[in-house]
Amino acid sequence: MSPSSSHRRAFLQNGSLYLLGAGVAASQASRLLADDAPRAVRFGLVTDLHYADKPSAGSRHYRETLAKFAEAAAQFEKDSPDFIVELGDLIDAADAVEVEQRYLARIQKEFAALPGDKHYVLGNHCVDMLTKEEFLDGVGQPQSHYAFDAGGCHFVVLDACFRSDGKAYGRKNSRWDDANLPAEQLEWLQADLEAASGPVVVFAHQRLDVETAHGVKNAAQARKVLEASGKVLAVFQGHSHKNDLKQINGIHYCVQRAMVEGSGAENSGYAMVDLIADGAIRIHGYREQQTRGWKMAR
């Protein structure tokens, strides 16, 4: 069986969602999602791997992540992305620092072999026992929030792993449903977006589009910063483990499917994303990750 998703493919234009196979909308989506569409930059996306050498719990199959990720890695080699982003919860929690570090070293060995640059978004499970410094040292990334440019586009990595009182997650001091972007990071974000010269894509773990437990508590404040810039095309997120897509005030918020959910390769999920030269975004989903595409409103 091909790793390509068997789910319906979706097309979103000017805020309206269409499914492939639905008349005129299908032909529009087919043109948008065509492999020969000129692109500015391509990147791979994975999220919520929760790798751990421990028995499965409920729908989460921690040890199976290695085999699922091996398939994704082979696909990424074929797709040749410019870079790859891991949207958080790369590892699952442990009761000892050295155990969690072993989990991180094992899955990082696989990540390091991927093509192109790698970028890691901090998830709550990444810094459950480990400190942020320990996790970042383990993946070779200097900072937990930063920005970079590729293909004429600007990319922003956010870190919402802070409690309401401003304390950083780590050493079992946090709750998964108490995620916040500190004032200093929001100030940095505003300045960074003002200076950005191209269209912007944002990466986050906890969601910026909902007010539920899976959302960043000051998400509304963060959205105001994103909207005020007039430059943000999309926000890619993890954390809630299920495919989701919202458009809020012209910005698309796309939640990627967790790799850890379900047993067997067919229950994996990962994606390749193309930013098209005319401002469109194409997401090719594999396995349970939905394929999507949209054009920006003009």
Domains located in the chain, CATH noted:
37-295 (3.60.21.10)
Query: Which whole number is the average pLDDT over 124-142?
Result: 98
Residue 183 has pLDDT above 70, yes or no: yes
Q: Please give the backbone phi and psi of residue 6, each rounded to the nearest 5 degrees, phi first.
A: -95, 0
> What confidence score (pLDDT) does residue 36 get?
65
Span 54-79, average pLDDT:
98
**Average pLDDT over the chain, rounded to whole?**
90
Q: What is the mean pLDDT of residues 101-129?
A: 97
Average pLDDT for 57-86: 98
At residue 165, the pLDDT reads: 97
Cα 253 to the center of its chain, rounded Å: 10
Query: How does residue 99 score in pLDDT terms, banded at 50, 70 and 90?
Result: very high
pLDDT tens digits for 6-63?
333 444 444 333 333 222 233 444 454 455 668 899 999 999 999 999 999 999 999 9
Q: What is the pLDDT of residue 37?
A: 66
Statement: residue 105 has pLDDT above 90? yes
Least reliable range by pLDDT among 15-29, 52-66, 166-180, 224-238 = 15-29
Residues 6+ apart with CB under 8 A from 280: 32, 37, 293, 294, 295, 296
Q: Which residue has the higher pLDDT, 157 or 17?
A: 157
Residue 228 has pLDDT above 50, yes or no: yes
| The token pair that represents 138 in the structure block | 């383990």
Predicted confidence at residue 279, as pLDDT, reads 80
Q: What is the pTM of this model?
A: 0.91
Task: Give the pLDDT confidence score for residue 31 in this predicted structure.
Answer: 52
Count other Cβ atoms within 10 Å, centred on residue 267.
18
- Residue given tokens 């929001």 in the structure block: 186
How high is the pLDDT of residue 10?
45
The confidence score (pLDDT) of residue 278 equals: 79
- Name the CA dihedral angle for 169, 174, 177, 180, rounded to a multiple of 10 degrees: -40
**Which has the closest alpha carbon to 250: 192, 204, 296, 294?**
296
- pLDDT band at 295, cuts 50/70/90? confident
